Amino acid sequence: MPAMLQTITWDGQALKLLDQTKLPLEQVYVEVRDEKQMWHAIRDLVVRGAPAIGVAAGFGVYLGVKDYRGPELFGFYDRLNEVADYLATSRPTAVNLFWAVDRMRRAAREAGRDSFGAERPQDAIEVVKKRLLEECLEMAKEDIEACKKIGEHGLKLLGKSAKGKRARPIEILTHCNAGGLATVQYGTALAPIYVGKEQGIEFHVWSDETRPLLQGSRITAFELQANGIPVTIICDSMAASVMAAGQVDAVIVGADRIAANGDVANKIGTLSLAINAKHFGIPFYVAAPTSSIDMRIKSGAEIPIEERPPEEISNGLGRKTAPEGSDIYNPAFDVTPAELVSAIITEKGVIKPPYAKALGKLFDEGTGSKLPVARKASAAKKSTKKKAKPKAAAKVRSKRAGRG
């Protein structure tokens, strides 16, 4: 198991999050005790990476209702829906966030039905609270298991990509951070590397610095170094030159949302990598859990793209780097068309084109988790400054007679 820092830790009263805005210079943990703190932790990138955001949001729902002391279950459900809707406004692109809050709604409904017959409404409420915490802990456990399986499936694929090209190490290029610090443990894009290291396989990683917030240099390089894996940081604009020099066996990235046709939303700059990889004949792999696959949208055109504050570009390196008053465009993500993706690596196995058919079959057969909930592009603002209410799954509803 990789000797990495714990991204998310539950201490019984609060959720401790490794503050990733402080890396690599400081290792600081933030205690989150309510949904407002969680909203800001997600929005301000204290916690980041689609799987980690999902788990954190689940805990945010629980933290928002755990101290509820109202007299009736339907009032508790109203409070839970209020918290879930609020958390869903924190960031628009990573579908894991919406998947997690809606999973919490479902858990509350099921627990409410199970509590039917309780002598007092307060007893029923406590049953639901207990079930919500159990669901959070289960999500965290599932994330670790899913990432480990992604690593196992991905390792086989990476081995095939590098076969016959050279002896060890296998040369991988990645973008942003899709390692253990973007999940509960292991990561997605870096999981095959960690699993491979456990088996004695050698890797060398080229890590794009990932402008404007430098997640590649600040976070990916940090965690790879901590785990004894050789890593070389490059500027984003250098990736094509490294590929042209024959220094890359495969490109592997994570995903914030995958559409039903296989289009992939990931950190801005991913599309450029995919185009370059296609030109140089290098496999371009996407690693993500099935909770990142949104089967309710047909293509990447429907994925809402978050715009971040302009200061991340104009003041992102500790000093002013653009003329005052400059017009700045700062999308956090881009969409890579499915035809540029060589394979999608999930905990259920490796999915290859045609993706619409393969993903449809995967979900028809059952993935072990509920379908993630889509948000229509028309309902999502490019900027999250306005807190548009998400079109989430059916909210928790209660009936006085049936408590749920």
Q: Which are the contacts of 288, defined by CB distance < 8 A and separation ≥ 6?
A: 50, 150, 188, 254, 255, 258, 344, 345, 346
CA nearest to 49, candidates 9, 83, 95, 15: 95
Q: Which burial class, exposed, middle or buried, applies to 156 when counting CB atoms under 10 A from its CB (0-12, 13-18, 19+)?
A: middle
Residue 307 sits at φ, ψ, to 5 deg, of: -105, 130
Residue 24 sits at φ, ψ, to 5 deg, of: -95, 5
Give the sign of the dihedral formed by CA 283, CA 284, CA 287, CA 292. negative
The helix (run of H) or strand (run of E) holding residue 302 is: none
User: From the candidates 102, 256, 294, 334, which is the catalytic residue?
Assistant: 256
Assess contact for 326 and 314: CB atoms under 8 A.
yes
**Sheet-wide strand order for 170-174:** 231-234, 203-208, 170-174, 250-253, 284-287, 343-346, 349-351
Q: Tell me the two tokens of residue 50.
A: 């689609």
Instruction: Could you list the beta-strand ranges (E) of 12-160.
Output: 15-18, 29-32
Q: Is 327 labeled as catalytic in the residue annotation?
A: no
Q: Tell me the two tokens of residue 44.
A: 């301000």
- Rounded distance, CA 293 to CA 346, Å? 10
Assess contact for 227 and 187: CB atoms under 8 A.
no
Residues labelled catalytic: 256
